[in-house]
Amino acid sequence: VEQVARELRRRGFRLTPQRLAIVRALAMTDSHPSAETLYEELLPSFPTMSLATVYKTLNTLREMGQVMQLEFKEGSTRYDGRHPDSHAHLICSACGRIQDVEVDPFSSEARGAIQALGFQLARYRFDLYGLCQGCQQKGASATMKAAR
Amino acid sequence: VEQVARELRRRGFRLTPQRLAIVRALAMTDSHPSAETLYEELLPSFPTMSLATVYKTLNTLREMGQVMQLEFKEGSTRYDGRHPDSHAHLICSACGRIQDVEVDPFSSEARGAIQALGFQLARYRFDLYGLCQGCQQKGASATMKAAR
DNA sequence: CTAGATGCAAACTTTTTGCCAGCCA
DNA sequence: TGGCTGGCAAAAAGTTTGCATCTAG
């Protein structure tokens, strides 16, 4: 949070209460919230907060490289304020949870293929869809119940 | 095209001229078109074609697993009718071109990490952003011109 | 024939923009 | 004080839906 605040100042942006609240909220969660979710979360403490402000702030932070933006078609765009660099995501198709994968995902074949095509890689987005451990168990018991 | 047509019939869908045209257009291009692009492409040959029909057909094909849908926030959703299975994409940030990468992108570490978390992988989306070979060259000459 | 598809327009969702008042530096 | 910001409402962009008409099978 400190670091983002400093960076905002350094770039000539004002450190308003709203911006600070959004930065804090992003830093406190692992849950990759959407703009709407953030807005609802902040509304109790900032009754005058508007969705437009959330969007504007998120866009500012993204341009600063402080958050990573993840677009989905199901539901809306989600934001990751803790890992602004490229990394892989595990996305549960049942509960919508997004977990981060910390290891380098690239196979050496893939790196080779990219290089062979002369492509200059800047960043990537790697989303893995499937079932998280919890939903597999829930699904299994649901199936069993249905079978009776 | 044949195969998709058969599959449509088998599932009890009608093989309308509009559907056929969309399937053909998708099969003929490597360029991952958007719904809008497809619509404009087909309009000359099907003056009555409507955007809604394109969307409906694309959704049908997606549900059949015959096209892969790629959502982006810049511009719109794009469709891949030639490689309906998961694979990596090289996306040029300058010209917007999307190339397919055919090799398996996963590192063994990544597979290990996913397994360790108990995640059951169904499909993935791997988008690599950067500059394609052509745009790197254009960029280089543009820079040189600017330097003079 | 007739269930299912098309085409039009209107609805919907998500995100962005214009504008003025207000506040931070 | 003076320009950046926040908040509101309205616009924009992309996609979906309702419904009357039409058509493939």
Span B54-96, pLDDT tens digits: 999 999 999 998 999 888 876 678 999 888 888 899 988 888 7
Global pTM reads 0.81
Residue A125: half-sphere exposure toward Cβ, Cα within 13 Å: 18
Which chain A residue has the Cα nearest residue B108?
A107
What's the rounded mean pLDDT across residues B88-107? Answer: 85
For B113, the closest of A101, A106, A129 (CB atoms) is A101
Å from A58 to nearest chain B CA? Answer: 14
Nucleotides of C strand lying within 7 Å of any protein CB atom: 4-10, 13-18, 23-25
Please state, in angstroms and rounded to a whole number, the distance separating the CA atoms of residues A102 and B116.
12
pLDDT given for residue B83 in this prediction: 87
Say if the Cβ atoms of B107 and A102 lie within 8 Å.
no
Is residue A147 predicted with pLDDT exceeding 50? no
pLDDT given for residue B76 in this prediction: 73
Q: How far is the CA of B21 from the C1' of C10 (A)?
A: 27
Q: Among A9-18, A99-108, B37-46, where is mean pLDDT lowest?
A: A99-108
- Name residue, tokens 């400190």: A2
Establish whether the CB of B34 is closer than 7 Å to any nucleic acid atom in strand D.
yes
Please state, in angstroms and rounded to a whole number, the distance separating the CA atoms of residues B104 and A110.
7
Q: Are A57 and A19 in contact (CB under 8 A)?
A: yes
pLDDT in tens, A55-113: 999 999 999 989 988 888 766 789 998 888 888 989 888 877 888 888 888 888 888 99
pLDDT given for residue B55 in this prediction: 96
What's the rounded mean pLDDT across residues A28-42? Answer: 91
% residues pLDDT > 70 (chain A): 92
pLDDT given for residue B17 in this prediction: 95
Among B2, B74, B91, B77, CA closest to B34: B77
Length of chain B: 148
Radius of gyration of chain A (CA): 19
Give the mean pLDDT of chain B.
87
